[in-house]
Amino acid sequence: MSVSNPSMIVQDIGSPCVGSTLSRPCRFDPKCDTCLVLTPSSHDTATALEFSGHGCPVCGGTDLRLYLDAENPDMTHEGIGSSRKVFSPGRVLRCAKCRHGFRKSPPTPAELSELYRRMDVEVYEAEHESRVQTAKRHVRLLSRWASPGRLLDVGCASGVFLEQALRFGWDVAGVEPNEALVSKAARRVGSQRLWNTTLEEADFAPESFDAITLWDVVEHVVDPPDFLRRCARLVKPSGTILFKIPNLDSWQARVMGRRWPLLLPEHLGYFTRSSIRASAERAGLEVVFFGRGAVTFTAGYILLRAGQHRVPLTQFGYRVAGNGFLGRLRLSIRLGELYVVARRASTNHQPAGDLS
């Protein structure tokens, strides 16, 4: 155990897990049900960790573990998004209290906004047809929890989900900081429905939406409770907030370890059911539903992404099949994401059960 600050404990990853019955150093042993870390890449690096942050961004907990000690270069616009040229999820810490994982030393909100404005979207757009399938799945989920009304999609990207929601009778609005994506979204739903900015910079009146959707968004923010609180203010008292987040307790994250495809440079937070519930409660929201998320992509895109994570044989597979018939086959896969439905805490609700 190394202590770099009297009020802040960072356990190095050569130590046994707290609560574990194992006497040897924890190496993600499946017998250890309190395991919070991945196999160490370097014990020396871990013990040399100097932590000077402010604790867990969700619960404020100060008992932190080094979950992943990857190379930790500065985030650049070339390292984020589907077209990324360089790859490192950075140094990821994990809270022992709520199990939340988070990137150490995240960029400031202004730096993040600038990164997303400059992000290359070429590969993202190449998967358009796959994203339509995922968007239809999201609209079906939304329809189970809310009747059509005014909808805000934060991080709306190229507007694929907005277009589907519009067809289902929603009065849609979208926020997206990347200008290239907004111009594509404008062709789908009209520029009058779009705000080329971040939610923090947009100026919406309180309680002006019946539903807010956050697909692959909350893991990109520095302070999840603060971000959700901002959303809670914008939704009507009877309104609904839906989102999808990476689940660090999923079997995919546990089995794939440092090759888990959702360990990404631009992901600042990795949730668990307890940490997203705690984030929601601090925002004045109540979680009313958890479901396992799925996404649709072509086999070629899946091989490309897996190759970025150095999953064995996938780079070879992408060279062989990436652009051919096999590479164009469309697959629905589960990567360990979690759907969450939340409502303002005082609202009565009728949960529709778990989504399979």
Write the single-letter amino acid at 187: R
User: Shortest gap between Cβ of 58 and Zn ion (angstroms)?
Assistant: 5
Of 35 and 160, the one with the shorter C-beta distance to Zn ion is: 35
How far is Cα 138 from Cα 239, in angstroms, rounded to an integer? 17
How far is Cα 268 from Cα 256, in angstroms, rounded to an integer? 19
Of 58 and 156, the one with the shorter C-beta distance to Zn ion is: 58
Residues 147-206 that bind Zn ion (CB under 5 A): none
C-alpha dist (Å) from residue 196 to 70, 159, 170, 191, 203: 33, 12, 20, 9, 12
Of 57 and 177, the one with the shorter C-beta distance to Zn ion is: 57
User: Shortest gap between Cβ of 186 and Zn ion (angstroms)?
Assistant: 40
User: Shortest gap between Cβ of 28 and Zn ion (angstroms)?
Assistant: 20
Of 195 and 271, the one with the shorter C-beta distance to Zn ion is: 271
Residues 69-128 that bind Zn ion (CB under 5 A): 95, 97-98, 100
Question: Which residue is it, tokens 């939406």?
Answer: 209
User: Which of 37, 38, 59, 182 touches Zn ion by CB under 5 A?
Assistant: 59
Of 88, 93, 98, 43, give the one whose Cα is nearest residue 67.
Answer: 93
- HEC letters along 287-343: EEEEEEEEEEEEHHHHHHHHHHCCCCCHHHHHHHHCCCCHHHCEEEEEEEEEEEEEE
Of 151, 153, 159, give the one whose Cα is nearest residue 121.
Answer: 159
**Residue 299 in contact with Zn ion, rule: CB under 5 A:** no
Select from 49-57, 223-231, 250-258, 295-303 the region that touches Zn ion (CB under 5 A): 49-57
Of 101 and 293, the one with the shorter C-beta distance to Zn ion is: 101
User: Interface residues with Zn ion (CB under 5 A)?
Assistant: 56, 58-59, 61, 95, 97-98, 100
